[in-house]
Amino acid sequence: MAEALRPRRSVLYMPGANERALEKAKGIPADALILDLEDAVAPEAKAEARTRVCAAAASGEYGAKEIVIRINGIGTEWHAGDIAAVAAAGPAAMLVPKVNSANEVKQLVAKLESAGAPPHTKLWAMLETPIAVMHAEEIVSASPRLTVLVMGTNDLAKELYAEQVPGRAPLQYGLQKCLMATRFSGKVILDGVYNDIKDEAGFYAECVQGQQFGFDGKTLIHPSQVEPCNEIFAPDEAEIDLSRRIIVAFDAAQADGRGVATVDGRMIENLHVENAQRILAIANAISAFS
């Protein structure tokens, strides 16, 4: 069953060890925040960061933003403690790096439930290895509690010995395979990060590419990336207007006993209506959570 629609155009990583960053995040217009206990936190700071992040997630001070905690990976010394703390804090979701199999998903869900996590705390999984890409369909379908896939493009490029180049040609097979698996399951998928925060043109182009591919949004590493991402992954006024007119025209055609309609000289069928309904649903979700 598909998860209830909510906007995830911009999903910003925030370092769990940085108290000022967690405070600043309250005013950033991202749809979701990933409070990070993994890459952004040094080993000696992980225990303190865990306490700080879980307190932030439980505070209710982030408004309509979806709050997600990225824990340390399976097999690390912090993994079990992170799960217990997340279960107690009850954020919107727990994000786990380097999930490589359906069996790992089932084990993670069992651990969350055993730790007493509330039903609203979902599982998000990062796909960032060749084996994860090859088993994406099994991973995303492994549990109803798994609702979102996150592409880990930096690690995937490293594992493939691939260069990160404009257009991302070396990664496109993996991106598209994971997208297809996610759409098959009716769930949500987020594009990976863009590393050069000073390259505004490159970032914009990659956001457009991700939106054209069909990603639901993009993970981000800097607040300056949030507003351009929100713009690109949101329907514009022209799309919203066209979608409304498509639905009205098709309804009128059906009332007249016709199976197709014409809008702006183009033939409109069921598939166009379904896409128009999706666009309006996204626009409504953005308005509801703004």
Indicate the pLDDT class of residue 3, thresholds 50, 70 and 90. low
Q: What is the pLDDT of residue 237?
A: 96
Indicate the pLDDT class of residue 4, thresholds 50, 70 and 90. low
pLDDT digits (tens, 9 = 90+) for 78-87: 999 999 999 9
Share of the chain above pLDDT 90, in %: 95
Picking from 170, 285, 178, the residue whose alpha carbon sits closest to that of residue 230 is 285
Q: Are strands 261-263 and 266-268 parallel, antiparallel or unpaired?
A: antiparallel
Please give the mean pLDDT across all residues of the chain.
95
Indicate the domain borders of the chain: 10-232, 237-289
Mean pLDDT of 39-68: 95
Indicate the pLDDT class of residue 1, thresholds 50, 70 and 90. very low
State CA 85 to chain mean position distance: 22
Q: Note the CATH number of domain 10-232.
A: 3.20.20.60
State CA 108 to chain mean position distance: 19
State CA 40 to chain mean position distance: 19
Mean pLDDT of 215-230: 98
Q: Can you tell me the distance from the alpha carbon of 277 to that of 275, in angstroms, rounded to the nearest whole number? A: 5
C-alpha count within 13 angstroms, C-beta hemisphere, residue 143? 20
DSSP secondary structure code for residue 66 in this structure? E
Q: Is the pLDDT of residue 289 over 90?
A: no
